[in-house]
Chains A and B, each alone.
Chain A
Amino acid sequence: SYELTQPPSVSVSPGQTATITCSGDKLGTKYTSWYQQKPGQSPVVVISQDTRRPSGIPERFSGSNSGNTATLTISGTHAMDEADYFCQAWDITTVVFGGGTKLTVL
């Protein structure tokens, strides 16, 4: 079955750029979405279709996808961005999530 691999954790200082990767075989040929989940809350999509930022998502969130890796970039990270982040793609007819990355802002 198709697998998406994320680093378990990423740390960043406030105001700096956070980069979270998601790797999968030929992932660049599929659309990737990114979700943010804070404790006690449901996930929220922050990037869809590789690069689209839904209404209400701050401009500091951006995405890219090429080759075998999709990337979520948070520029000028805020303390409120501390959360778990999951990538998601389709493998033909099934939905696949990455294992998730805990972003710590310290």
Chain B
Amino acid sequence: QVQLQESGPGLVKPSETLSLTCSVSGTSITGYYWNWIRRPPGKGLEWIGYVYLGGNTNTNPSLKSRVTVSVDASKNQFSLNLRSVTAADTAIYYCARLVGATDNIDYWGQGTLVTVSS
């Protein structure tokens, strides 16, 4: 079955870069849209960005200048880099598979809490 697993530091200092990796099993990463989504404490879900079809990406306009989403097909993984973080970036970060354009998310990782603090 399809499984997604986030990994990365749980604590990042302000102004530094948050880096997470999502390992995908049970399906090839060369299809679908692979997303990063976060949920800050007490707030709702926020879409961060996706990568699909050999490396094409799109990101939330509100985060665009700080976000890079990339894929490593050889490892069946995709990654998130979020630069110049502040306390407002503290959240549970999820990786997720989106079936296709106009479709829904069908698989989610368990989520990983990232705290931005000195």
Contacts and interface: CB of A to CB of B under 8 A. Distances in A.
Interface of A: 1, 30-31, 33, 35, 37, 42-45, 48-49, 54, 84, 86, 88, 90, 93-100
A95 B31 CA distance: 17
Contact of A95 (B35, B106, B110): B35
A44 B30 CA distance: 23
B69 to A, nearest CB: 12
Interface stretch (B7-15, B56-64, B79-87): B56-64
Given A31-B103, A48-B103, A94-B60, A42 B108 contact: yes
A37 B110 CA distance: 12
B58 A45 contact: no
Interface of B: 35, 37, 39, 44-47, 50, 58, 60-62, 94, 98, 101-106, 108-111
Contacts of B46: 97
B107 to A, nearest CB: 9
B44 A97 contact: yes
B44 A95 contact: no
Contacts of A93: 58, 101
Given A42-B109, A42-B111, A49 B103 contact: yes
B101 A98 contact: no
